[in-house]
Structure 1
């Protein structure tokens, strides 16, 4: 499980955007987004750096 602190998520559309970005890296990833806590947990075989870059490319700031 890889956890990210993600800034800029404010709505369900943001949740979908982050989830879709991560699924493009690993279609089998299990993604859990906590909108209130601004955290994203990902169970994936992909590299953490790839996942972080996907979130950032979707327009969100990642702090860990």
Structure 2
């Protein structure tokens, strides 16, 4: 169970890094918001889901 939580945290860190770099670049680029809006919303939803799933799995570790 500990390995699963560690993998989930690793995925969360990786996705957080991608979003922290990608969202400001997308917003600063002219005309990119309309093209990348769905991708950013999807990435944010996956990030929120990973936070909840990681918390759920972490609650099972004693």
Question: So what's the TM-score if we normalise by structure 2?
Answer: 0.28
Decide which structure has greater helix share: 2
Decide which structure has greater strand share: 1
Q: Which structure is higher in RCO with an 8 Å CA cutoff and minimum separation 6?
A: 2
Q: Which has the larger radius of gyration?
A: 2
Question: So what's the TM-score if we normalise by structure 1?
Answer: 0.28
